[in-house]
Amino acid sequence: MSTNGIRGGPWPGQVVLRRRWAKGHARPWNEEVQAAGLRIERGGADFVDACFHWLVDRGCDEVLSVPVHPQGAGIWESAGFVPHTELRLLSRSLIDAVAEPTHHVRPGGGHGDWTAVAAIDDRAFDRFWRVGRLGLADAAAATPRSKLLVADVAGEPIGFVIAGISLDVGYLQRMAVDPAVQGRGIGRSLVRAALRWARRRGARTMLLNTQLDNRPATTLYRSEGFEILPERLTIFGRTAESRP
Ligand SMILES: CC(C)(COP(=O)(O)OP(=O)(O)OC[C@H]1O[C@@H](n2cnc3c(N)ncnc32)[C@H](O)[C@@H]1OP(=O)(O)O)[C@@H](O)C(=O)NCCC(=O)NCCS
């Protein structure tokens, strides 16, 4: 399959897009929003633009970037993308010890765990922010090393966190607690478990991002020692109608 020299796989699905040395990854944003999520591993604005056309040719209404650091914004802007959503970036030092979780949190990762946590994710996040199984798999694959950690009640998963580490930086990639049991300290235990997991593996800092209007999450993170960084991440978007 080829558009503008792009080679990809069957769409919709999780596809690797290539053109010469350039490489990107695309997947449906989620099952409810007819957009594609695009991550560029290597390549410039021309390649971003070609990926956009490849995806729109296959029926996507809109293409959205992964959250982009200000330093990486140029290629998206040059490819005709505009800011869609801003995210807050938070950081916490892992030099000092981290308090123990008060709820039991266990390592997860079996097929049953991924099915259960995808269902929790669907219930906890609103339509736009749901990522589905593919998005959770992406979150786990975003760092060379990662772990799914699960909180259970009576043997049933009721919350999870995906933690990752790359060099000496830990990442809290995704976290949710079933709405039926929110407000009981499970989220706090998951944050601590993620911090402890990363710290034991040599991370010196933990980073995460969250929506600007997510008060519960921001309040929780700040009360567990995270500080809000001055820079923000941006999800860039370009709609099919913007195509000349
Ligand atoms: C964010 C989330 C994981 C918190 O989980 P939780 O189990 O409800 O959180 P906890 O009960 O451990 O609460 C810990 C702290 O968070 C803060 N908090 C929780 N809910 C809050 C709310 N509705 N408003 C303001 N602060 C809140 C409080 O500081 C609370 O501490 P306190 O109980 O001592 O006051 C949960 O709300 C959730 O799944 N939200 C949807 C998904 C999401 O936003 N994930 C994070 C994206 S980055």
What CATH code is carried by the domain that includes residue 20? 3.40.630.30
Structure tokens at 115: 């099915």
Residues 198 and 142 in one domain: yes
- Contact present, 138 and 24 (Cβ < 8 Å): no
Burial of 9 (0-12, 13-18, 19+ CB in 10 A): exposed
Band the pLDDT of 119: cuts 50, 70, 90: very high
Answer yes or no: is the C-beta of 218 below 6 A from any ligand 1 atom.
no
Residues 173 and 122 in one domain: yes
Cα first-last separation, the chain: 23
26 belongs to a structural domain: yes
The per-residue pLDDT for range 150-191, each reduced to its tens digit, is 999 888 999 999 999 999 999 999 999 999 999 999 999 999
**Pocket residue to mutate for ligand 1, from 210, 220, 222, 224, most atoms within 8 A of Cβ:** 220
Domain of 126?
96-203
**Amino acid 2: pLDDT:** 45
Helix (H, G, I), strand (E, B) or coil at 77: helix
Distance between CA 63 and CA 41 in Å, rounded? Answer: 16
Percent of the chain topping pLDDT 70: 99
Band the pLDDT of 3: cuts 50, 70, 90: low
Distance between CA 16 and CA 38 in Å, rounded? Answer: 10
Structural domain count, the chain: 2
Distance between CA 72 and CA 23 in Å, rounded? Answer: 16
Is pTM beyond 0.85? Reply is yes
Average pLDDT rounded to a whole number, residues 192-213? 98
Residues 110 and 199 in one domain: yes
Structure tokens at 83: 């800011």
Band the pLDDT of 136: cuts 50, 70, 90: very high
**Pocket residue to mutate for ligand 1, from 219, 221, 224, most atoms within 8 A of Cβ:** 219
Band the pLDDT of 1: cuts 50, 70, 90: very low
Residues 187 and 103 in one domain: yes
Residues 157 and 105 in one domain: yes
Band the pLDDT of 33: cuts 50, 70, 90: confident
Task: Count the helices and strands in the chain (H runs, E runs).
Answer: 6, 13
